[in-house]
Structure 1
Amino acid sequence: MDPMDRKILAELQKDGRLTVTELAARVRLSVSPCHRRLRELERSGAIRGYRAVVDPAALGLHFEALVFISLHQEDRDTVADFERALAAVPEVLQAQRLFGDPDYLLRVATADLTAFQELYDQELATLPGVQRLTSTLVMKHVVVERPLA
């Protein structure tokens, strides 16, 4: 990864809908070499995909919480069962497995507090292996989707 590849990545993170011609102009490279570099970044997995960033409020999701989960035990089967069940919960926007306690951090979006409470009690608390749940409410996003590179 050289400085030109980083420029390409920076521009695409600002606007993933750029044409190769527009991208080449922004990074001051001719179209063919820019296209080759772009294909190589995609092939290598440096660019994992392209997507639209959707405002949760536009979908009626006005409530966001961070949920911390500790498991009873962390053997392979418990972790696999928990992660498989967690992946099926659509309100979970992100989930990270952590070192130490707690074991997981979830970012969850729901319509409102009542919907969150139902999700918390009926789905999250009943996931396989859950020992303890704690949560905190998101007041405001300060840094969102900061570009890498």
Structure 2
Amino acid sequence: MDALDRKILTELQVDGRLTVTELAGRVGLSVSPCHRRLRDLERAGVISGYRAVVDPGAVGLDFEALVFVTMRSADRDTVAAFEEAVAAVPHVLQAQRLFGEPDYLLRVATADLPAFQRLYDERLAKLPGVQRLVSTLVMKNVVHDRPLPE
């Protein structure tokens, strides 16, 4: 991957709806070489997809919490069961396995605090292998969905 590929990636992270012609103009290439590079980045899995970025508040998901999960056990079966179950919870926007304590960090979006409490009690606390959940509420997103650095 060279500097031109990185420029292509930067531009697409800012605006994934650019046409190949617009993209080529922004990175200083003609259309054919830009299109070839773009296809190569897609085939190599560097670009894994395209999506719309939706404002959570516009769809009624104004409440966000971070949930730290400590597991009872870190054996393979428990971890696999937990990860499969947490992946099936639609309000979990992001789940990351961590080194050290806690074991996982979940980013959760709901309509409001009562909806979060229901999700916490009815789904999150019942996930396989969970020993403890600790939550903190997001006051404000300062940096959100930033493009990866060049």
- Tell me the TM-score normalized by structure 1: 0.99
Q: 1:100-131 deviations in whole A, cap 9, x for unaligned? A: 11000000000000000111111100000000
Residue aligning to 2:52? 52
Instruction: Report sequence identity in percent.
Output: 77
3-state SS of paired residue (1:33)? helix
Q: Does 1:15 align with 2:15?
A: yes
Q: Which amino acid aligns with 1:130?
A: V
Matches within 5 A, 1:64-103: 64-103=64-103
- Give the drift of 1:15: 0.6
Runs of 4+ in structure 1 deviating by more than 4 angstroms, as ranges, are none
**CA RMSD after TM alignment:** 0.6
Q: Does 1:125 align with 2:142?
A: no
Q: How many residues align?
A: 149
C-alpha distance in 2 between matches for 1:30 and 1:85: 47
Residue aligning to 1:134? 134
Q: 1:11-48 deviations in whole A, cap 9, x for unaligned? A: 11111001101100111100110000000000111111
C-alpha distance in 1 between matches for 2:143 and 2:21: 30
3-state SS of paired residue (2:47)? coil
C-alpha distance in 2 between matches for 1:13 and 1:81: 33
- Tell me the TM-score normalized by structure 2: 0.98
Q: Which amino acid aligns with 1:138?
A: V
Gaps of 5+ in 1: none
